[in-house]
Structure 1
Amino acid sequence: MVSEGDTSYPRRESAPLPAYPDAGPGRRSRPPRPPLTKRMRRGHWIALDCVAGGLAAVAEMALVGQRPGIVAVPAVLLLGVAVFVPVALRRLAPVAAFGALIILAVLLAAEGFAPGVVFLAAAYVLYLVTATSNRRTSGAALGLALAVMVLIMLADHRVSRNSGAAGLLIPAAFALIVCWIAGYSMRQRRLYAQMLQEQATSSAVAEERLRIARELHDVVAHSMSVIAVQAGYGQYVIDSSPSDARDALGAIQATSRDALEEMRRMLGVLRQQDAAAPAPAVTAPPAAPGTAAPAAAG
């Protein structure tokens, strides 16, 4: 039988946890940096939107420019600008940018061109519309885009028979639905994080108030006990020893003064907390990435 003090068997000790990659001998380990989407500023997001708008404009110009004998070069350039501007400026007015792209898609379909690329750009804008607007507005935007696509495929005989055009509209519809789901999920995640933050703040305030209430209870209970004891002692010795009774009255006066000062201090702390506490916030759509409040990539 092996005793508890027997050390003949080797013992396995837990390996130390790995340090951060930047931590070396004599260097302090640095905390992990925030995600890239939290470190990007508004100008970075607008630059990404400009890149996306430029790609969409070039793709649409390439599709329309396949028939150079029908469409003039200035019209093709104007079409590229009309696609680029709403996508590049989607963070300033997402709903207006989405509406402009839908109108542009209708105009292209009326002229006999396939607006699949424009609907893909609209899906890119729809993500931000869904993430920053309420459920009714985002749902109406998605329903409008899908309805317009269905009407284009049913009314325009040339688009319905052209397999290439129809093949662009079907992926565009799928992209619209995916972007709407992603934007809605992002909005719900932000609202949930905001709710958790509000609950944590309320819990911290409640705990602080409970601590102050306990301290106030201790002060009042201790002071009243001292006052009761001194009052009883003074009443007992007032005839035989007036000087002791006078000392008891002085102790009562000092104890009551200290208790009142402590109560005023605690009540002042409570008033400061009430003044510093923010008013109940009205539920509003979360801010877009690159605007006043940081958000995830759009």
Structure 2
Amino acid sequence: MSEHRPLLARRLRLWHLVAFDALVAAGAAAAHVSFLYVTDSEPSYSGPMWFGWLIALLSTVPLAVRRLWPMPVLVVLLVGSAVSTALNATREPWIPVACALYIVALAGQRPVAPLVATLGTLAVTIGLNVVLTPQESFWDMPISMLVFVAVVMIATWTSGRAVEARRSYATRSAQQLAHSAVNDERLRIARELHDIVAHSMSLIAVKAGIANHIADQRPEEARDALRVIESTSRSTLNEMRQILGVLRSETSDLAPAPGLSGLPELAERARHAGVSVTMTAPAEPLPSGLELSVYRIVQEALTNVVKHAGPVSCTVDVTASGQEVRISVVDSGPGGTPGSGHGLIGMRERVMMYGGTFSAGPAPAGGFAVSASLPYSA
């Protein structure tokens, strides 16, 4: 139902505009009919009154549907206005034609056909006027009016094209913003999935290898490894359900996003994988989005330690000063660069979202170091 509301709103707005055009057309028709009865010093209409009424209506009434059929309405109004002007049955500078031409320009029509049709009709009208009323000077009314009409038509077309160009630019900008928002959301979801799956699967793979290696000689240690695998799997499934629930807009019964309070659990998981983790973290809360980024950066850094450094010691230091939060993860492994996965890219992207700084590489004293600084307002 909600998908049809924008279409219904556009249709209602269109018919409101058509109703407004109908009122304008009625006013223009009344004015044109009144011109038939004008008898002043200027040349006046001298033909049959029924024919005068016919061309008056032909020159105005189609204006009511100019938004529905722009080009056909323009052609009909051009014919009616040309005949009306040539027979001295009008005293206005082709206002209905200008209104129709504006809509044609606004619809993005190519300029050649409508402009040639309009200006060509003006030329034919001038010729008819000279033939039908040869006693007039070329610059007497309505010839001088036709010159003014030509200027009005060109100005109307230019205005319509300018408005159409501005609307097209606004539409393209909105589409680009929407496309950018979709890409940003896709990257955010990809980072979340990578951080959750990579960390958990790395720990599961390490513990599964240990369990397989010592299953016969030390079954009790193998069972401990299997319990870690079970616990990690359950935790990962819960996080996956949380993300899927958000994507499906199922906002009820969702756990809060992980933050600083979840860092000790990350350290404990790494210890189960054989990494000796020493961790310090701030006690005061941080903005929720920032806490999630800190959590994911530490999670990915520990995942890389488990995957690439093995059972080594690791120091995790998270400090907050009220203006920025600093993250340092240093291990005592061989110091090689992690593989070509998306972990370091994801950490760097999270830091850049806050305009911070990020570095990762071999530490001077040996091992591998990850350092990040994320500014924020307390």
| Alignment TM-score, normalising by the size of structure 2 | 0.52
What's 1:169 paired with?
A: 146
What's 1:90 paired with?
A: 66
What SS does structure 1 have at the residue aligned with 2:46?
coil
Distance 2:27 2:167 in 1: 30
Contact 1:101–1:118 (Cα < 8 Å) also in 2? no
What's 1:120 paired with?
A: 95
Contact 2:196–2:239 (Cα < 8 Å) also in 1? yes
Match of 1:145 among 79, 101, 118: 118
After superposing the two structures, state which structure 1 stretch, 66-75 or 43-52, moved more.
66-75
Inter-CA distance 260–182: structure 2 relative to 1 (3 Å threshold): same
Q: Identity across aligned pairs (percent)?
A: 35
Q: Which amino acid aligns with 1:220?
A: V
Q: Which amino acid aligns with 1:149?
A: L
Match of 2:18 among 38, 41, 46: 46
Q: Deviations over 1:80-136 (max 9, x none)?
A: 3222311122122121111101122333356x33666373311111111111243x1
Are 2:202 and 1:202 equivalent residues in the alignment? no
Distance 1:128 1:151 in 2: 23
Q: Which amino acid aligns with 1:66?
A: V
**Equivalent residues in 2 for 1:13-32 (5 A)?**
none
Q: Which amino acid aligns with 1:99?
A: V
What's 1:255 paired with?
A: 232
What SS does structure 2 have at the residue aligned with 1:203?
helix
Alpha-carbon distance, 1:268 to partner: 9.7
Distance 1:73 1:86 in 2: 20
After superposing the two structures, state which structure 1 stretch, 93-102 or 54-63, moved more.
54-63
Distance 2:30 2:230 in 1: 87
Are 2:32 and 1:60 equivalent residues in the alignment? yes
Contact 1:53–1:84 (Cα < 8 Å) also in 2? yes
Inter-CA distance 116–179: structure 2 relative to 1 (3 Å threshold): farther
What SS does structure 2 have at the residue aligned with 1:70?
coil
* Number of aligned residue pairs: 231
Distance 2:225 2:82 in 1: 94
What's 2:78 paired with?
A: 102
What's 1:129 paired with?
A: 104
More helix by share: 1
Divergent runs of 4+, >4 A: 235-240, 256-272
Match of 1:243 among 191, 214, 220: 220
Contact 1:123–1:179 (Cα < 8 Å) also in 2? yes
What SS does structure 1 have at the residue aligned with 2:94?
helix
Are 2:154 and 1:186 equivalent residues in the alignment? no
Kindly name which structure, 1 or 2, has the bigger radius of gyration based on alpha carbons. Answer: 2
Alpha-carbon distance, 1:241 to partner: 3.5
Q: Which amino acid aligns with 1:153?
A: I
Contact 2:29–2:60 (Cα < 8 Å) also in 1? yes
More strand by share: 2
CA RMSD of aligned residues (A): 3.5
Distance 2:36 2:64 in 1: 21
Match of 1:227 among 163, 187, 204: 204
Contact 1:89–1:97 (Cα < 8 Å) also in 2? yes
Distance 2:137 2:173 in 1: 50
Distance 1:260 1:217 in 2: 14
Distance 1:69 1:231 in 2: 101
